[in-house]
Structure 1
Amino acid sequence: MSREQLRTVASERGLVGGPFGSSLVNADYTDDGVPVIRGTNMSAGRFIGGEFAFVSHEKFARDLIRNSAVPGDIIYTQRGTLGQVALVPNGGVKTYVVSQSQMRLRVDPQQAIPEFVYYASTTKEFLKQIDDRAISTGVPHTNLGILAELEIPLPPLAEQRAIAEVLGALDDKIAANTVLAATTAQLASTDFAATVRQAKWGPSFEEIADISGGGTPSTKNPAFWDGEVWWATPTDMTALVGPYLESTSRKITPDGLAKCSSKLFAPGAILMTSRATIGALAINGVPTALNQGFIAVEPHDPRLMWWLFHEMESRVQEFISWANGATFLELSRGNFKRLSVRLIDEAALSAFHLRVTPLHDLARRSLAENRRLAAIRDMLLPQLMSGKLRVGDAEAAASEAGVWTRQA
């Protein structure tokens, strides 16, 4: 399979950066108009997304037409978090502006399929090219000249399209599952908001649940680390797509667990970050130990699990108001334990538990499927880009995953 520089697949004037200096400043942003693609819009998955800033149509026409992006364009980060890449989606908005920290590639349709170029730009080999050529002076950055020289594999158009369709089918299913999980979790929160109106202030958290914290084994002892015990930090929580902790970025050994002040929490504990970022919540789906940045709540009555989860979710701002600390805010377990809980009667509690548990189960299953689909996609991507895997075999793998119907 041949390899070509991005300049080869670009249309005429297809490689464009953001506006210079004073051409786009904070004072130019408006409440509506032409949306501006910034770094915060580059982390929503395959497509740009999230909350956009805007410039007026007059400002766009006068100063920023050259920096426009349209559906099918590929956006690359120029400075800051290098390696971010996203597509401008079809449908909806017809024109965007590329900010000073982004670059745009518009491909020549006779040379490449935009979706294929996007996937080729997410491979480890491509990202290594960026790392190797990045300018490290000040904030790490790159430029249009460097971007133009980066290479991607370039099979015939028909093969590009087939590869993009297989990988896209997996990403489409992941996106649909993500929406489903968010929607069902929100339904549970909405149910709680309606039901809690019937509640009365009752006992404290410590009267209806075991309240615990965590700890960290000595980092100087390698015998405590890289074992088989999941060990969560607040970073694991803030990275979650939904409030379900199924794994952690680090593990400790049984000896490490024995030498730190965390117990191994059985699945079903309500975990909440209690320092720096206060109020990130999740239910653990696997036995998990915690570092010291947590408050863990284990209800005495299993029916209280989702009720207390949503109760805590709805009171994060209150928890923050109880926090203190000179270096960073921290909510102490002592303060948390004494806070009262809103409760409903036994029959209403049982009914609530029966209503919201299936919602959370569906959300959790959807996100678990996403992890499986992402693993399949990440396995197929380098194999397809290198030519080691035939498209037909990739289609078969996607079909087995339930996201591809083989064409007759």
Structure 2
Amino acid sequence: MSRLTIGNVCSHFVDCVNRTAPESPGGGYYAVGTPAMRGNTISMSEVRELNFETFQRWTRRLVPEEGDLLVAREAPVGPVVRVPAGDVWAAGQRTTHLRANSELINPRYFYYLLISPIVQRRLLSRAMGSTVEHLRVGDVRDFVLPTLPNRASQDAIAEVLGALDDKIAANERLSSGAQSLLQEHFAMLGLDRFADTGPFLTVNDLFEVNPRTSRKVTGQSPYLGMKDLPDTSMTVSSWSTREAKSGARFVNGDVLLARITPCLENGKAGYVDFLENAEIGIGSTEFIVVRARDPLLSVVPFFLTKSERFRDFAIRHMQGTSGRQRLAASDVAGYQLAEVEDERLNRFGELSISLLERVRTAVAESQGLAHTRDELLPLLMSGKITVKDAENVVSDAV
């Protein structure tokens, strides 16, 4: 097949509204700008929530549909996300909205082609700018694609890679469902309510805040940066390693809470369960570490960080200059909780441990599936392996 440009294979090619959409918390519609597109997935903590009127203005040229693509043109250049289901998404600032012409190219193959290493390298090489690299709208529209395989091959490649992403999505739904169930049970406990008639506890009665780690950490250690701390999900799915120096220390069963603006307001918190055996992890100095005194209750602090009452308290108690405000660990330790019977707390703990095992298995499987997908993608796009070879690998993986 002849060489085609991105513009050639799109039935619709629309640039974004080139200004920042006004936010309306609780509006139920979302503008996906480039900060929300890193890693080719949508980060809900970075989208801008819109009301219906703003959504209509921002989508007057074209309302994104499930499977459409958004391409980041600046800060950073290159990430591509597929629009999820639901007519609630708008193209944010510095993005271009693409809808593939399904008569010319398989829409899902188009997505995998655009995120393939060879295309990403070429997109970055076209970026320009003395201070901030960017692509002009014409650069995206006129970008020449690699020679496309025939439609049958496109369909087969999209199906093979899509099977991996579909399984990852199924695992994410399982994890999200488990988290929602535990959130409901946590709310029913009544632990996080104002005990105006007493008796009451404080966080420090049930949990240690920034506990000391007696064992010295040396050499390379698992490292969790602020970008690795989840926005909405419970468990950590990405981390790195680095030399153990300054920073928070944590072990499996700890809960990490971002203490600095805007990360705290964005809900960054996570439950640690990815370390090996007695490993000690290190993290950002902007983390508060919360450890249950009873291991059965290890997940309770995570759901506490997600409660509206605690979040309001934490945001009110942040101190410092504008843009660099922080929550003090001492304020977290003194936060008041209602007293709950041990039997009810233990039942919640037992349920959480059971569900967390399933979540941990699903997260580990998804990490393996993503690794397989990322290895197969460039090989399939370059023709170094056949679809049949890839199908054999995928059948073993899923």
Q: How far apart, in 2, do the equivalents of 1:272 and 1:8 lie?
A: 44
Q: How far apart, in 2, do the equivalents of 1:303 and 1:81 lie?
A: 42
Task: Please say if 1:280 is aligned against 2:272.
Answer: no
Cα deviation digits, residues 349-368 of structure 1 (max 9, x gap): 22111222222332232222
Q: Which has the larger radius of gyration?
A: 1
Q: How far apart, in 2, do the equivalents of 1:18 and 1:270 lie?
A: 41
1:114 to 85, 107, 122: 107
- 1:231 matched to which residue of 2? 223
1:345 to 341, 348, 364: 341
Q: How far apart, in 2, do the equivalents of 1:92 and 1:299 lie?
A: 39
For the 8 Å contact 1:237–1:245, the answer to whether it is kept is yes
For the 8 Å contact 1:274–1:293, the answer to whether it is kept is yes
Letter in 2 for 1:363: V
Q: How far apart, in 1, do the equivalents of 2:175 and 2:304 lie?
A: 20
Cα deviation digits, residues 16-50 of structure 1 (max 9, x gap): 332777xx9969x9x99x99775577579679997
Cα deviation digits, residues 223-248 of structure 1 (max 9, x gap): x7xx531133333214x662223652
User: Map of 1:207-218 to 2, 5 A cutoff?
Assistant: 207-212=205-210
Quickly say closer, same or farther: Cα 1:329–1:104, change in 2 above 3 A.
Answer: closer
Alignment TM-score, normalising by the size of structure 2? 0.78
Aligned-pair CA distance for 1:165: 0.5
SS state of the match for residue 325, structure 1?
coil
2:395 to 388, 395, 399: 399
Alignment TM-score, normalising by the size of structure 1? 0.76
- Mean Cα displacement is larger for which, 312-321 or 98-107? 98-107
- 2:13 matched to which residue of 1? 16
- 1:152 matched to which residue of 2? 146
- 2:184 matched to which residue of 1? 190
Task: Please say if 1:390 is aligned against 2:386.
Answer: yes
SS state of the match for residue 83, structure 1?
strand
Quickly say closer, same or farther: Cα 1:233–1:153, change in 2 above 3 A.
Answer: same
- 2:234 matched to which residue of 1? 243
SS state of the match for residue 295, structure 2?
coil
Aligned-pair CA distance for 1:189: 0.9
User: Map of 1:7-406 to 2, 5 A cutoff?
Assistant: 7=6, 9-10=8-9, 14=11, 16-18=13-15, 39=34, 54=52, 64-65=60-61, 73-88=68-83, 93=87, 101-136=94-129, 140-147=133-140, 148-196=142-190, 201-212=199-210, 227-238=219-230, 242-245=233-236, 248-252=239-243, 256=244, 260=246, 263=249, 265-276=250-261, 277-278=263-264, 280-285=268-273, 286=275, 287=279, 288-314=281-307, 315-326=310-321, 328-402=324-398
- 1:4 matched to which residue of 2? 3
- 1:219 matched to which residue of 2? none
Quickly say closer, same or farther: Cα 1:130–1:365, change in 2 above 3 A.
Answer: same
SS state of the match for residue 154, structure 1?
coil
Quickly say closer, same or farther: Cα 1:244–1:339, change in 2 above 3 A.
Answer: same
Aligned-pair CA distance for 1:177: 1.4
Quickly say closer, same or farther: Cα 1:233–1:343, change in 2 above 3 A.
Answer: farther
For the 8 Å contact 2:253–2:299, the answer to whether it is kept is no
- 1:220 matched to which residue of 2? none
- 1:406 matched to which residue of 2? none
Q: How far apart, in 2, do the equivalents of 1:68 and 1:251 lie?
A: 44
Aligned-pair CA distance for 1:161: 0.5
Q: How far apart, in 2, do the equivalents of 1:105 and 1:246 lie?
A: 29
SS state of the match for residue 229, structure 2?
helix
Aligned-pair CA distance for 1:146: 1.7
For the 8 Å contact 1:214–1:294, the answer to whether it is kept is no
Q: How far apart, in 2, do the equivalents of 1:53 and 1:150 lie?
A: 37
Q: How far apart, in 2, do the equivalents of 1:233 and 1:40 lie?
A: 17
Letter in 1 for 2:314: F
Q: How far apart, in 1, do the equivalents of 2:315 and 2:54 lie?
A: 38
Q: What is the aligned residue count?
A: 374
Q: How far apart, in 2, do the equivalents of 1:301 and 1:68 lie?
A: 50
- Mean Cα displacement is larger for which, 228-237 or 160-169? 228-237
Q: How far apart, in 2, do the equivalents of 1:334 and 1:36 lie?
A: 37
Aligned-pair CA distance for 1:105: 3.9
Aligned-pair CA distance for 1:311: 2.8
Aligned-pair CA distance for 1:251: 2.0
Cα deviation digits, residues 102-134 of structure 1 (max 9, x gap): 334444545421211110100122111121111
- Mean Cα displacement is larger for which, 127-136 or 275-284? 275-284
Quickly say closer, same or farther: Cα 1:335–1:74, change in 2 above 3 A.
Answer: closer
Q: How far apart, in 1, do the equivalents of 2:30 and 2:69 lie?
A: 16
SS state of the match for residue 190, structure 2?
helix
Percent sequence identity over aligned pairs: 24
Note the residue ranges of structure 1 that are not aligned, 5 or more in a row. 216-223, 403-408
Aligned-pair CA distance for 1:306: 2.4
CA RMSD, Structure 1 to Structure 2 (Å): 4.0
